[in-house]
């Protein structure tokens, strides 16, 4: 059953009650377990560790959430009309339950994908998504890369500090080892990322390389390729010319496009 609450005050009160009840339930369960446990010190240490990790998570600009979805091109296109609808909240809840447009069998997978698509959707102004709908498929893929770089800082760091640097080098290739080296630099400055397991880091790195393949920026041999959006001038128009650098266009090409805009 889907509940739609139109009054903003009702929504606030509803979620405040639910959130408070969940916290109280969780705290009571933990305290009961701690009181009954013969390893109270271990329980206390685990609680302290979990609290520390949550603080680090809240202070860190990084997330490994990209591993839960990936590029999600067709899924984004399918969900976008629902997200742009004035009844978006109700339509999205219904989609998670009834699988009308995503056609993903597992409800848990639908939830994860919807969560990541919503994260990306909310990163951009609605006007961008209306423009996105009118793009051809090649330009949509490139535009989705643009959205991903703005949504996930870990991907932006990979792109700026590894991909773009490798493109300017003699080799012009990239591997998972290059990205793991960047992880070392990030981990040295961010405790939350430093605590990620090697398996998680490799999953994040692999997800990024998969995204580059989806937009045809990386071939099967690990060689980088430049992207040429047919609507390159669009990124000047929305004040995001840096993305043309991220597409690995040569500087003279970007300057030429810039002059055409003036």
21-33 as b/e: b if 16+ CB within 10 A: eeeeeeeeeeeee
Q: Report how far residue 53's alpha carbon sits from residue 205's, in angstroms, rounded to the nearest whole number.
A: 22
Backbone angles phi, psi at 173, to 5 degrees: -130, 170
Q: Report how far residue 189's alpha carbon sits from residue 164's, in angstroms, rounded to the nearest whole number.
A: 21
**What is the chain's alpha carbon radius of gyration, rounded to the nearest angstrom?**
22
Q: Are 248 and 142 in contact (CB under 8 A)?
A: no
- CA distances for 17 relative to 5, 6, 11, 27, 242, angstroms: 14, 17, 10, 15, 44
Give me the pLDDT at residue 227, please.
Answer: 97
Q: What is the pTM of this model?
A: 0.79
Q: Report how far residue 160's alpha carbon sits from residue 96's, in angstroms, rounded to the nearest whole number.
A: 35
Q: Are 131 and 233 in contact (CB under 8 A)?
A: no
Give me the pLDDT at residue 229, please.
Answer: 97
> Cβ of 57: how many Cβ atoms within 10 Å?
13
Backbone angles phi, psi at 224, to 5 degrees: -80, 150
Q: 108, exposed or middle or buried, with CB in 10 Å at 0-12, 13-18, 19+?
A: exposed
Three-state secondary structure call for residue 125: coil
- Give me the tens of pLDDT residue by residue for the chain, a chain 262 residues long: 444 544 444 444 433 433 344 334 434 443 444 444 445 554 445 444 444 445 455 789 999 999 988 999 999 999 999 999 999 999 999 999 999 999 999 999 999 999 999 999 999 999 999 999 999 999 999 999 999 999 999 999 999 999 999 999 988 999 999 999 999 999 999 999 999 999 999 999 999 999 999 999 999 999 999 999 999 999 999 999 999 999 999 999 999 988 887 6
Output the CA torsion sign for 62, 64, 69, 74. positive
């Amino acid at each position: 059953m889907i509940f739609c609450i139109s009054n903003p005050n009702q929504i606030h009160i509803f979620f405040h009650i639910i959130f408070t009840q969940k916290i109280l339930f969780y705290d009571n369960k933990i305290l009961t377990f701690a009181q009954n446990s013969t390893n109270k010190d271990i329980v206390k240490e685990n609680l302290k560790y979990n609290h520390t990790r949550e603080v680090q998570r809240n202070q860190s600009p990084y997330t490994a959430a990209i591993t839960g979805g990936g590029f999600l091109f067709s899924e984004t296109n399918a969900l976008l009309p629902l997200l742009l609808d004035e009844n978006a909240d109700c339509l999205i809840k219904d989609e998670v339950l009834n699988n009308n447009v995503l056609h993903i069998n597992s409800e848990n997978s639908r939830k994860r994908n919807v969560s990541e698509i919503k994260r990306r959707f909310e990163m951009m102004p609605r006007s961008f998504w209306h423009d996105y709908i009118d793009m051809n498929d090649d330009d949509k893929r490139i535009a989705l890369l643009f959205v991903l770089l703005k949504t996930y800082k870990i991907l932006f760091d990979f792109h700026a500090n590894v991909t773009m640097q490798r493109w300017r080098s003699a080799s012009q290739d990239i591997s998972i080892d290059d990205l793991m080296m960047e992880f070392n630099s990030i981990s040295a400055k961010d405790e939350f990322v430093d605590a990620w397991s090697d398996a998680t880091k490799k999953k994040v790195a692999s997800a990024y390389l998969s995204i580059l393949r989806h937009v045809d920026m990386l071939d099967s041999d690990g060689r980088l390729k430049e992207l040429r959006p047919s609507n390159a001038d669009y990124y000047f128009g929305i004040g995001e010319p840096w993305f043309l650098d991220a597409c690995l266009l040569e500087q003279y090409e970007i300057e030429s496009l810039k002059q055409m805009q003036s």
